[in-house]
A and B are shown apart, each in its own frame.
Chain A
Amino acid sequence: MPSKQEIYEKVVATLVDSLNVEPEEVRPEATLQGDLGAESIDFLDIVFRLERGFGIKIPRGELFPESIFQGDPQYVQDGKVTPQGIELLRQKLPFADIDSFAKDPQLSKISDLFTVEMICRYLEHRLQTEEAAAPQTH
């Protein structure tokens, strides 16, 4: 399995290619939309490139879930994510920094959950799980 650093470097290269940004701009805390200028179609492009780069399949919605709250007032009220909504986010985005978001849970800031670090954590988890499931060949 690649090390954390190797995963990070590959993610940086992926985002540089996909979003046409400079490598220096891709910091762990950089947000995909706000800092790196990703648009909705770029998310699918990033998924394709990560699949190719890491030799894995990323099921739809697993890394970048779409329309999490579906306008349900249980989850969003007055432009803020409710405690139930925060719980849902923890389930749907287990690799995002939900704790920081929960301090000021503005719905408009939800895209800030999608960071470079989030992608790296997801990949670390995926590759670990896959390694554990693979047959041992000693």
Chain B
Amino acid sequence: MRWIWIDRFVEFEPGRRAKAIKNLTQAEDYFREHLPGYPIFPISLLLEGLAQTGGILVGEAGNFERNVVLAKIASVQVHAEVYPGQQLEYEVELLDLREEGATVRGIARVQAQVVAEAEIMFAHVRPEQIGLQENFVFSGELKKLLALNRLLPPGKR
């Protein structure tokens, strides 16, 4: 399984807001265990999807040159369960952005109904802070996904 919890961006306003969708299917393994006989989408994965939507919005604002790392979820409210067959829509809005990090407000909806809300903070981590030599977030698999979504400019795909 690939650690990509959004399927596609449907709206993207650089430095301001973005909207991505995630389709849920019975074929996804975790529904077997979560929960046995009563498949619901784990809230942890919903938060991951919101964080990926927000993290890419923040990454793009820095030209994908910084390593955007999920640092803190200051608040979460969950309003409803989400089931296989539904489509989640993740909408994030950039609240703050500076050299050290960024904050987004995220809302998850299913058919226009709000199912969860969260305020998510990201830190900009330099590779040497964690003993690496190269950027580690917007590389490899994630870069491919972004290229598929045509988010990265041609020279950077």
List the interface of chain A (C-beta within 8 A of B): 17-18, 20, 41-42, 44-45, 48, 51-52, 60
How many B residues have CB within 8 A of the partner chain? 13
- Least Cβ distance of B24 to chain A in Å? 30
| 23 A-B residue pairs with CB within 8 Å | A17-B75, A18-B74, A20-B74, A41-B71, A41-B72, A41-B101, A41-B121, A41-B123, A42-B72, A44-B71, A44-B123, A45-B72, A45-B74, A45-B121, A48-B95, A48-B96, A48-B103, A48-B121, A52-B95, A52-B96, A60-B98, A60-B99, A60-B100
CB atoms of B96 and A51 under 8 A apart: yes
Q: What is the number of contacts between chain A and chain B, taking CB atoms within 8 Å?
A: 29
Contacts of B71 in A (CB 8 A): 41, 44
Instruction: Tell me the B67-121 residues at the A interface (CB within 8 Å).
Output: 71-72, 74-75, 95-96, 98-101, 103, 121
Contacts of B99 in A (CB 8 A): 60
List the interface of chain B (C-beta within 8 A of A): 71-72, 74-75, 95-96, 98-101, 103, 121, 123
For the residues of A in contact with B, the DSSP-based class is helix
- Least Cβ distance of B79 to chain A in Å? 19
Kindly state the separation between the CA atoms of A87 and B75 in the bound complex, as whole angstroms. 39
- Least Cβ distance of B106 to chain A in Å? 15
Contacts of A48 in B (CB 8 A): 95-96, 103, 121
